[in-house]
Structure 1
Amino acid sequence: MAFGTSFQKSAFHDNDRLEEMLREAMVVLGSFFASEYFPYVGWIVDRLTGLHGRLERVFHKLDGLFEQVIDAHLNPGRQRHDEFEYIVDVLLRIQVDKIEFGEGPLTKDGIKAVIMDLFLAGADTSAATVNWAMAELARNPRVTKKAQDEVRTFAGKNGIVTEDEIVRLQYLKMVVKETLRLHPPAALLLPRETTSHFRINGYDILPKTLIQINVWAISRDPRYWKNAEEFFPERFSDSSIDFKGQHCEFLPFGGGRRSCPGMYLATRTVELALANLLHCFDWKLPFGMKGKDIDMEEAAGPSLTISKKTALHLVPVDRVPRSLEDHMK
């Protein structure tokens, strides 16, 4: 959606290399850099541990990828499959037209920075959320049946669920909300920096203090959530609580000026993927497994995105198309 190309058949990189690059970048970004805490001497430690070199290598690869993407969009002879402007096209137009972008003109490096944010923040997080949602559904047959019945009743009449039909799937939206509550893609939001002095719980917080917000702990706090560890989408049925940054007990996308700008695109992508998985297939556990046997432990490590420690294995079963089923009856 950002680059206007499918990497499955792209000349840039294939899917496997792209995924490897993405995961390596996320791991490096989540790693402990001594230079961030000890600016004058920490860089020596980072070089001795090899972390600095690892950072340089992965971002050199990313820079090469983004350079290829930009050059492809600047090519006047490139094949266009539609008349849409992709995000890269919009950024290049802003640069050519010299439109003010933030504090000054948009440079090529600035375009690469925006593309990198989209690439790193938008792909792995959405995939992890769909994975967690399917794991929770596999452990909760009642919820699965209710979500599947809704999807198959109100959407997918032409074989797949479309974007226009998502608005009808209110229970599915609750399933996604509950998944984001229990499994926020980023347990710690992007770091904040205080702008003024304040006191909290008797502690003086000085200006320019780095603040880490643990949304994983907040969204499981029993003071704010009844049966906080239970996967229960219905908790949102008569609730005004949403993830748009107005409710401090539910902040998977953050809040304020540094909330995630891709919030709506992310939720729509997850909802669409999940709706089609539920619409097109019935899902079973392999080898006689039961829902309680699914390991829900989170992977340890420096990656910014929380993913399952063990891969989720489910068996998709083709369902008989509704029209054929009705005809047979």
Structure 2
Amino acid sequence: MKVAMLAPIAWRTPPRHYGPWELTTSLLTEALVARGVEVTLFATQDSLTSATLAGPVPAPYEEDPAIDAKVWEMRHVAHVFERAAEFDLIHNQADFVPLGFSRLVRTPVVTTIHGFSSDRILPMYGEYQHDVAYVAISAADRHPALRYAATIHHGIRVDDFAFDAQGSDDLLFFGRFHPDKGPEQAIAAAAASGRRLRMAGIVQDRGFFERAVEPAIDGDRVMYLGAVGGEERVRTLGAARALLHLIAFDEPFGLSVVEAFACGTPVIANRRGSMSELIDHGVTGFLVDSPQEAVEAIARVDSIDRAACRRAAIERFSVDRMADEYLALYRQILGG
């Protein structure tokens, strides 16, 4: 089986720190290669993979100001579809633009929908839903107006995340600094609980960060670590008493949640989006519906068995499970 894996080009595949779509694309690519699938990864030229790397884009547009996102995205997608006849299947991880090319080729196209940035993109998804096999990353993110071939939760390489049986007394916010992610809610909950809060992630909304987050950062009770990746990411996730995921939007998945589980760290999350699919309330964390419930959950977090969090990551969120489910879908589409 020959698969063209179409990655986004906002970040390198895999990303150096932030880049959940690119990370998932990389994890799936490597797992498929390990299963003997002949994968060509179309990604930025600085990407790292055991697959065949291809594509015209020299660097990620979020890291190199010389890369015009619109121009290079079109070159990137066009390049893949110009080579479509070389592959049995194209797996699109790069949102809605590639859908517009799908009727121009005979090669089947699978598209993983990594959430909806806005309902304004629905006209594209609606138009091509009978031509492209859509995969939802959670049941919560399935749009009622669309047809889907499957729902496949993301997976991670659990062995890459060291289990920390103790953690620390500190709480953690881990994600992009944007109102959607609720960093100010995490600050308030940590303060009310009397625990120190460590915060890590990229600043996506600078004005919001300066207004709602930065005034609370004092280097003592609230510490800002910046964007962390690699071993520092693992240490940061594992060293927390709990991850505070007090989101203000319907999160389509949440990789940091399952990464925290892999380290043994329970998660306290607002009951929105996919959180009820990921978190087993009272076993791997707590689902809350108000700021007060979040504070109460922090007080109860020591009742969570950190080993149970690790088991959940192994049993439910492994990259092997994800790859097997995608491979089964590919074979179904290709007729066995």
User: Given the two structures, how large is their TM-score scaled by the length of structure 1?
Assistant: 0.29
Higher strand share: 2
Q: Which has the larger radius of gyration?
A: 1
Higher helix share: 1
User: Given the two structures, how large is their TM-score scaled by the length of structure 2?
Assistant: 0.28
